[in-house]
Structure 1
Amino acid sequence: MASFDIQGEIHNIDETRTYGQNGFTKRELVVKLTGEDENPSYPNYVALEFVKDKCAVLDNYKKGDEVKVAFNLGGRLWSAPGKPEKCFVSLQAWRIEKLSGGSPEDVPPAWENESQVPPDDDIPF
């Protein structure tokens, strides 16, 4: 699984949602990309998902915070009888850090470790 990072401003943080009988949790973060390559006339928004115990990390962030988010790019194929095959892409975030709008103590210590290995969680859908 490939790992990437992006920088931008938090546009929206969704509530944590629970799926299925096993209690799988997911929380979506939408980031408006910033940087030299971005055209302000045509902003890019990226939806990333935090899963399981990572959902609570977003409690320390708010709309407007400048952040850097590390994520894994993944995808799955889905097919059903009589229906065309579909490909679903997932941007699963595993680390977030504030670039402005807060002090370093706002970032949970578990997320400060740059050598942390990104999770390889298998999402049940």
Structure 2
Amino acid sequence: MGKAFLQARVIGLHHFPSNTMLNILHLIGNICRHGNGNSVSILHGLRPDLWRTTDYHPVDLKPYPHVPTADSLRIDPELLDEFATAIKQFWFDLETKLSNSEPPGWYGSGRTREASTGGGM
């Protein structure tokens, strides 16, 4: 996502304060679409607080470390509010950065962004 954005806008996502939250939201989207996989591991490394830290054996109720899975991801309403704020902040910052910078190289050249970047995103 970041590379495609950079090619399209000539501004890397890392230049935006909301990048961290948008990255977390992107990982959650991947987890929702694809289930267990690399995004679970990456997100757990960034935000282990989104999973329980302990499970309990169903028979003897002894605690054991929780293994993060897509099904055990927990997103509370406060986190959803943080995502909404990050999205709004991103669009505000993008407008500000674009109005204070040169347009991308493909802009105004008669070529489309897709032709300039070698295809779609």
TM-score range, shorter chain: under 0.3
- Higher strand share goes to which structure? 1
After TM superposition, the score normalised by the length of structure 2 is 0.23
Greater gyration radius:
2
- Higher helix share goes to which structure? 2
